Every structure is written in structure tokens, then in C-alpha cells.
Amino acid sequence: MSFLKIKDPSKRDKLVAEYLKTKNKIQNDFHLERLVERSLYEDFGKIFKPITEQHKKSFEEIVSKFAPLQDAIENMPPALPWDMPQPEALPDAPAQTPLPINIDRLAEQYLRAHMERMMNIHTMG
């Protein structure tokens, strides 16, 4: 809104004063809200400090207990295929090591493809 378009100076001054008053009220409300919010965060920090400190200690303790396990997992040798004798070749499929579970052919194809990908990942890494 342009205040300059108002021809009557008293109306213009009154409107500008109302505008400035509203603007200042909004700014003051915003600053007051921020101050209240900041004091709430400070109060929460004081109230919950014992809990957060204990949580931090527990977290560090748990992480320290899992560090050896993580090292052991990282240093494991790559997975090896099952040591089973080669079966006789099926007429429509090449000879492969049988899976240790009974599944249909489609699931077997999917599982074999997945195992080959995993073996490739382990041999690459």
C-alpha cells in the first residue's frame, strides 16, 4: 500500500502511525517469543542434564563393547561355498553344488544368482 496516494495529511499520518505501531508490536512479540523460547531451552537443559549425561555414558559404554565385535566382523575371511560333492548334471542345467535346502527351480536360480553376487563382492573387497 502506498501512503503517498492518500491526499489528506491527517489521514496519512494516522495510517502511517498505525502501520508503525503494528510493525513494532509484531517485532516486539517476535523478540519476546524468542526470549521465552530461549529461556525454555535453557531450563530444559538444566532439568534434563542428568538424563542426557547418563544417556551419553550408556551410549559410549555400549559402543565400546561393540567395537571388538565390529573389528572381528571386518577381519573375517570372505564366505566360502559349501564343501559338497558335485552332483550329476541335470539334462537341462549345468552341474552345480546343491543348496542345503529344498526349494523349487525358480527360487534356486534366484538364490544362486544372489550367492554369486555375494561371492563376487567378497572376493573384490
Convert the pLDDT of each residue in 16-38 to its tens digit.
Answer: 899 999 999 999 999 999 998 98
pLDDT beyond 50 at 49: yes
pLDDT of 83:
47
pLDDT in tens, 69-101: 888 878 876 655 554 455 555 455 555 666 666
SS3 per-residue string spanning the chain: CCHHHCCCHHHHHHHHHHHHHHHHHHHHHHHHHHHHHHHHHHHHHHHHHHHHHHHHHHHHHHHHHHHHHHHHHHCCCCCCCCCCCCCCCCCCCCCCCCCCCCCCHHHHHHHHHHHHHHHHHHHHC
pLDDT in tens, 50-71: 998 999 999 999 888 888 888 8
pLDDT beyond 80 at 1: no
Q: 0.75 exceeded by the pTM?
A: no
